[in-house]
Structure formats: structure tokens, C-alpha cells
């Protein structure tokens, strides 16, 4: 258990940040799942539209520090290849 005021504050802050960051990661996963669904259905236009939503979300995740830069680049690269393969 935290004894100092600063340690108590850090616990409160960490809890708040964990909630916010968890929501950010969840949002990114949701957009990726929408893209996966569009890819599975084979709908090229829907996949491109979903890709337009995934790119800024991943970039925002990198900027906020919830996703590593290389992880985002890898995911984006693989998803872009799959969208391009549709048509």
C-alpha cells in the first residue's frame, strides 16, 4: 500500500490512464475488426473506406504511446497489402 502522498497520487493517475489507454486500444481493435470483416466479405469499396479509418487511429495510438511505432507500421503494412490484393 502506498504511504506517501505522491505514491497515492501516482496510483490514482495510473488507474485513470489505464482506463483511457484501454479505451484507445479497444477503439483501434474495433476499427481493425471492421476492416477484417470488409476483407472477408470481399467488398473492395467497404475495405478501402475501413482502411481510411484504421490509418489515423493507429497513428493516434502511436502518438499517444499505447501502440509501438513498429507494431503499428507492421499492422498497417499487412492490412494495406490485403486491401490491395482485393482488386
pTM of the model: 0.87
pLDDT at residue 17, rounded to an integer? 97
53 touches 31 (CB < 8 A): yes
28 touches 67 (CB < 8 A): yes
23 touches 56 (CB < 8 A): no
Handedness of CA 71, 18, 36, 80 (dihedral sign): negative
pLDDT-derived band at 30, boundaries 50, 70, 90: very high
Residue 27 cell numbers, joined: 477503439
In this predicted structure, which of 2-6, 50-54, 63-67 has the lowest mean pLDDT?
A: 2-6
Q: What average pLDDT score do residues 2-17 get?
A: 95
pLDDT at residue 1, rounded to an integer? 80
pLDDT-derived band at 78, boundaries 50, 70, 90: very high
Amino acid at each position: 500500500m502506498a504511504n506517501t502522498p505522491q505514491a497515492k497520487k501516482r496510483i490514482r493517475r495510473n488507474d485513470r490512464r489505464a482506463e483511457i489507454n484501454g479505451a484507445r486500444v479497444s477503439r483501434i481493435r474495433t476499427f481493425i475488426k471492421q476492416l477484417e470483416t470488409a476483407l472477408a466479405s470481399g467488398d473492395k469499396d467497404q475495405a478501402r473506406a475501413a482502411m481510411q479509418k484504421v490509418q489515423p487511429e493507429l497513428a493516434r495510438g502511436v502518438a499517444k504511446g499505447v501502440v509501438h511505432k513498429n507494431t503499428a507500421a507492421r499492422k498497417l503494412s499487412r492490412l494495406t497489402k490485403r486491401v490491395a490484393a482485393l482488386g
